[in-house]
Amino acid sequence: MRPLIIASKNQGKIDEFKDLLHEYDIEVKSLLDYEDLPDIEETGTTFHENAELKAKTIGNLLECPVIADDSGLMIDALEGRPGVYSARYAGEETDDKKNNLKVLKEMENVDENDRSARFIAVLAFYRPGEDIIFKEGYCEGEITFGERGKNGFGYDPIFIPKGYTKTMGQLKPYEKNFISHRADALHQFKKWLKKHGL
């Protein structure tokens, strides 16, 4: 079975990748399987830069194919924030609850018709010695006035996808994986994978 490393320690994100890649004869591993790898500081100013940095660093260290993503929430009323700082919006230590509460606080006076937002995911696939492959995915929606739901992770409890009345945090995993930004990007990657192989 061919190995593919997911350059993440986020269990929720890893589970989504595994679920979306289960049909392939691929052994999906993550950074949780490698204790001695260094933490990679996300110093890029764009999702593309951060995804490429993670994919190339891990790919060259482990000498095998790696897929990395950088993803986040972009809110129109906040001029695109939290953006690339989504994971650490409320401070350097990742804390979903604090991030959600900060967004809700900043949005408390925004009218319900002006709460449009989107999740974006940029995937970077890297095989050592080859050009990097990028795929982008989006999920349009709006920000709620309070947290709803315990499923998922990150900003899922405050984001209602377009065409739905439930937040991402209220959707079942298979429902989220059908419409999410990561699923969109991975769907494009899977089409590429069918043509080119791992």
- CATH code of 43's domain: 3.90.950.10
Token pair belonging to 156: 């899922």
- Predicted local distance difference test score (pLDDT) of residue 1: 58
Domain region containing 111: 2-196
Domain count, the chain: 1
Q: What DSSP character marks residue 79?
A: T
Catalytic residue among 69, 70, 96, 156: 70
Alpha carbon of 64 to those of 10, 18, 21, 127: distances in Å?
20, 17, 17, 6
Torsion sign (Cα): 54, 180, 140, 132: positive
Asked if 114 is an active-site residue, the reply is: no
- What per-residue confidence (pLDDT) applies to 29? 93
Q: Computed over its alpha carbons, how large is the radius of gyration of the chain?
A: 17
Average confidence (pLDDT) per 10 residues, the chain, 198 residues: 85 84 85 87 91 95 93 97 94 88 97 97 95 97 97 95 97 91 91 84
pTM over 0.75: yes
